[in-house]
Amino acid sequence: MGHFDPGPLPKEISMRWMQKIISRLKSAINYMDETNFKSGLDGNVIKSGTLSVTMKELEWAEIPVPLVLPTQAVTTTATTGAPLGGYFLWNPSAYRGGDWYFEVSLATTAGTATATLTGVADIGTVTTTESTLTLVRSGKLTMPVSSQNVWVKLSVDNSANTASLAGARLIFVPS
Protein backbone atom coordinates (compact mmCIF):
# COMPACT_ATOMS: atom_id res chain seq x y z
CA MET A 1 0.00 0.00 0.00
CA GLY A 2 1.18 3.56 -0.69
CA HIS A 3 2.35 5.95 1.95
CA PHE A 4 3.44 9.55 2.28
CA ASP A 5 7.14 10.07 3.03
CA PRO A 6 7.76 13.47 4.63
CA GLY A 7 11.54 12.96 4.57
CA PRO A 8 13.90 13.22 7.53
CA LEU A 9 12.69 15.04 10.63
CA PRO A 10 14.90 18.08 11.35
CA LYS A 11 16.31 18.86 14.77
CA GLU A 12 14.19 21.98 14.92
CA ILE A 13 10.82 22.49 13.21
CA SER A 14 10.97 25.72 11.19
CA MET A 15 8.49 27.57 9.02
CA ARG A 16 10.55 26.59 5.96
CA TRP A 17 10.36 22.89 6.92
CA MET A 18 6.56 23.17 7.43
CA GLN A 19 6.17 24.81 4.01
CA LYS A 20 8.22 21.99 2.47
CA ILE A 21 6.00 19.34 4.13
CA ILE A 22 2.80 21.06 3.02
CA SER A 23 4.16 21.36 -0.51
CA ARG A 24 5.07 17.64 -0.54
CA LEU A 25 1.67 16.72 0.84
CA LYS A 26 -0.07 18.87 -1.79
CA SER A 27 2.00 17.22 -4.49
CA ALA A 28 1.26 13.75 -3.11
CA ILE A 29 -2.48 14.41 -3.14
CA ASN A 30 -2.49 16.01 -6.59
CA TYR A 31 -0.12 13.48 -8.18
CA MET A 32 -0.74 10.02 -6.81
CA ASP A 33 2.06 8.31 -8.70
CA GLU A 34 5.36 6.53 -8.02
CA THR A 35 7.08 9.89 -7.39
CA ASN A 36 5.11 10.40 -4.20
CA PHE A 37 4.09 6.85 -3.40
CA LYS A 38 7.18 4.69 -3.96
CA SER A 39 5.33 1.42 -3.40
CA GLY A 40 2.43 2.50 -5.62
CA LEU A 41 -1.30 2.65 -5.06
CA ASP A 42 -3.88 0.09 -5.98
CA GLY A 43 -7.65 0.04 -6.09
CA ASN A 44 -7.84 -1.89 -2.82
CA VAL A 45 -6.88 1.21 -0.80
CA ILE A 46 -10.53 2.30 -0.79
CA LYS A 47 -12.79 -0.52 0.29
CA SER A 48 -16.38 -0.65 -0.87
CA GLY A 49 -18.74 0.74 1.77
CA THR A 50 -16.02 2.52 3.75
CA LEU A 51 -16.88 5.92 2.32
CA SER A 52 -20.58 5.91 3.05
CA VAL A 53 -21.28 9.61 3.32
CA THR A 54 -24.85 10.83 3.08
CA MET A 55 -25.68 14.06 1.28
CA LYS A 56 -26.79 15.55 4.60
CA GLU A 57 -23.32 14.95 6.06
CA LEU A 58 -21.85 17.14 3.30
CA GLU A 59 -23.97 19.94 4.77
CA TRP A 60 -25.17 21.17 1.40
CA ALA A 61 -28.39 23.00 2.11
CA GLU A 62 -29.55 22.83 -1.51
CA ILE A 63 -28.31 21.15 -4.66
CA PRO A 64 -29.41 22.72 -7.97
CA VAL A 65 -30.09 20.58 -11.05
CA PRO A 66 -30.10 22.88 -14.10
CA LEU A 67 -32.85 22.16 -16.63
CA VAL A 68 -33.00 25.17 -18.98
CA LEU A 69 -30.19 27.74 -19.07
CA PRO A 70 -30.58 29.81 -22.25
CA THR A 71 -28.01 32.48 -23.12
CA GLN A 72 -30.92 34.87 -23.65
CA ALA A 73 -34.42 34.70 -22.22
CA VAL A 74 -36.79 32.42 -24.13
CA THR A 75 -40.15 33.96 -24.98
CA THR A 76 -43.53 32.62 -26.06
CA THR A 77 -47.11 33.71 -26.64
CA ALA A 78 -48.35 30.11 -26.45
CA THR A 79 -51.26 29.49 -24.10
CA THR A 80 -50.93 25.70 -24.24
CA GLY A 81 -47.31 25.48 -23.11
CA ALA A 82 -44.32 25.60 -25.42
CA PRO A 83 -41.89 22.76 -24.59
CA LEU A 84 -38.45 24.21 -23.87
CA GLY A 85 -36.56 20.97 -23.38
CA GLY A 86 -34.25 20.63 -20.47
CA TYR A 87 -34.91 16.92 -20.76
CA PHE A 88 -33.78 15.29 -17.54
CA LEU A 89 -34.04 11.56 -16.85
CA TRP A 90 -35.78 11.35 -13.51
CA ASN A 91 -34.81 8.14 -11.71
CA PRO A 92 -36.45 7.97 -8.27
CA SER A 93 -34.03 5.32 -6.98
CA ALA A 94 -31.06 7.66 -7.62
CA TYR A 95 -32.47 10.53 -5.55
CA ARG A 96 -33.59 9.41 -2.13
CA GLY A 97 -33.95 11.24 1.13
CA GLY A 98 -34.90 14.79 0.31
CA ASP A 99 -37.39 17.30 -1.01
CA TRP A 100 -37.61 18.73 -4.53
CA TYR A 101 -38.60 22.22 -5.69
CA PHE A 102 -38.98 23.79 -9.14
CA GLU A 103 -37.30 27.20 -9.49
CA VAL A 104 -37.67 29.45 -12.54
CA SER A 105 -36.73 32.98 -13.57
CA LEU A 106 -39.94 34.28 -15.20
CA ALA A 107 -41.51 37.48 -16.52
CA THR A 108 -44.56 38.52 -18.57
CA THR A 109 -45.56 41.58 -20.56
CA ALA A 110 -49.03 41.35 -19.00
CA GLY A 111 -51.26 38.70 -17.46
CA THR A 112 -49.68 35.57 -15.98
CA ALA A 113 -46.65 33.61 -17.16
CA THR A 114 -46.50 29.93 -16.18
CA ALA A 115 -43.62 27.46 -16.25
CA THR A 116 -44.55 23.81 -15.82
CA LEU A 117 -42.31 20.88 -14.97
CA THR A 118 -43.82 17.92 -16.77
CA GLY A 119 -43.17 14.29 -17.60
CA VAL A 120 -45.79 11.60 -18.07
CA ALA A 121 -48.02 14.13 -16.26
CA ASP A 122 -47.51 17.65 -14.92
CA ILE A 123 -45.36 17.64 -11.79
CA GLY A 124 -45.34 21.26 -10.68
CA THR A 125 -45.86 24.84 -11.83
CA VAL A 126 -44.72 28.33 -10.96
CA THR A 127 -46.32 31.58 -12.09
CA THR A 128 -45.64 35.29 -12.09
CA THR A 129 -47.38 38.51 -13.08
CA GLU A 130 -44.15 40.52 -12.82
CA SER A 131 -42.88 42.39 -15.87
CA THR A 132 -39.24 41.99 -14.85
CA LEU A 133 -37.53 38.63 -14.48
CA THR A 134 -38.38 37.23 -11.06
CA LEU A 135 -37.05 34.06 -9.44
CA VAL A 136 -40.07 31.97 -8.43
CA ARG A 137 -39.92 28.70 -6.45
CA SER A 138 -42.66 26.11 -6.23
CA GLY A 139 -43.85 24.46 -3.10
CA LYS A 140 -42.50 20.97 -2.36
CA LEU A 141 -42.99 18.72 -5.38
CA THR A 142 -44.30 15.19 -5.44
CA MET A 143 -41.85 13.66 -7.87
CA PRO A 144 -42.86 10.70 -10.06
CA VAL A 145 -42.49 7.19 -8.61
CA SER A 146 -41.28 5.77 -11.94
CA SER A 147 -38.32 6.64 -14.15
CA GLN A 148 -39.19 9.09 -16.89
CA ASN A 149 -37.99 12.11 -18.81
CA VAL A 150 -39.07 15.43 -17.35
CA TRP A 151 -38.89 18.83 -19.06
CA VAL A 152 -40.08 22.42 -18.86
CA LYS A 153 -43.03 24.08 -20.66
CA LEU A 154 -43.65 27.82 -20.82
CA SER A 155 -47.03 29.48 -21.36
CA VAL A 156 -48.93 32.72 -20.89
CA ASP A 157 -52.63 33.13 -20.05
CA ASN A 158 -53.45 35.26 -23.13
CA SER A 159 -51.74 35.02 -26.53
CA ALA A 160 -51.68 38.83 -26.69
CA ASN A 161 -49.08 38.67 -23.88
CA THR A 162 -45.54 37.32 -23.89
CA ALA A 163 -43.97 35.08 -21.26
CA SER A 164 -40.17 35.06 -20.77
CA LEU A 165 -38.01 32.44 -19.08
CA ALA A 166 -34.32 33.06 -18.32
CA GLY A 167 -33.59 29.81 -16.47
CA ALA A 168 -35.19 26.78 -14.85
CA ARG A 169 -33.84 24.25 -12.41
CA LEU A 170 -34.79 21.65 -9.90
CA ILE A 171 -33.65 22.21 -6.33
CA PHE A 172 -32.88 19.17 -4.16
CA VAL A 173 -32.90 19.72 -0.39
CA PRO A 174 -31.34 16.68 1.32
CA SER A 175 -33.08 15.43 4.45
Q: CA–CA distance from 41 to each of 32, 35, 101 (Å)?
A: 8, 11, 42
Q: What is the mean pLDDT of the chain?
A: 84
Closest CA to 67 of 140, 172, 157: 172
Interatomic CA distance for residues 1 and 27, integer angstroms? 18
Segment 151-155 mean pLDDT: 96
Phi then psi for residue 15, to 5 deg, are -60, -40
pLDDT tens digit sequence for 58-100: 667 788 889 998 989 999 999 999 999 878 899 998 887 889 9
pLDDT grade for 13, boundaries at 50, 70 and 90: confident
Better-predicted residue by pLDDT, 136 or 71: 136
Structural domains present in the chain: 1-47 (no CATH), 55-174 (2.60.120.1340)
For residue 12, pLDDT over 60 is answered with: yes
Q: Which of 31-45, 49-63, 110-124, 161-175 is the least confident region? A: 31-45
